[in-house]
Amino acid sequence: MKGILLYSSKYGTSERYAKMFSEQTGLPLADAVKADAAQLAAADCVIMFCGIYAGTLFQPQ
């Protein structure tokens, strides 16, 4: 299985957990906004770490 970890983080908590998970699993890690489209297309499993604000996933402006 080819997986990838993405994170979107306002204050850094999701990024910190995503980095720890990446280190423990060996899965590649990318900022959700900067992720490479080809890398995403090649993955058959995407795991997202994201802060939630007022019921909405955090999206950087």
Least distance in angstroms from the C-beta of 41 to ligand FMN? 25
- Under a CB-based contact definition with an 8 Å cutoff, are residues 50 and 11 in contact? no
37-43 long-range contacts (CB < 8 A, ≥24 apart) are 39/4, 40/4, 42/2, 43/2, 43/3, 43/4
Is residue 52 a contact point for ligand FMN (CB under 6 A)?
yes
Residue 37 or 56 with smaller CB distance to ligand FMN: 56
Contact segment (CB under 6 A) with ligand FMN among 5-13, 19-27, 28-36, 37-45 equals 5-13
Any idea what DSSP says for residue 21? H
Chain residues in the site for ligand FMN (CB under 6 A): 9-15, 51-55, 58
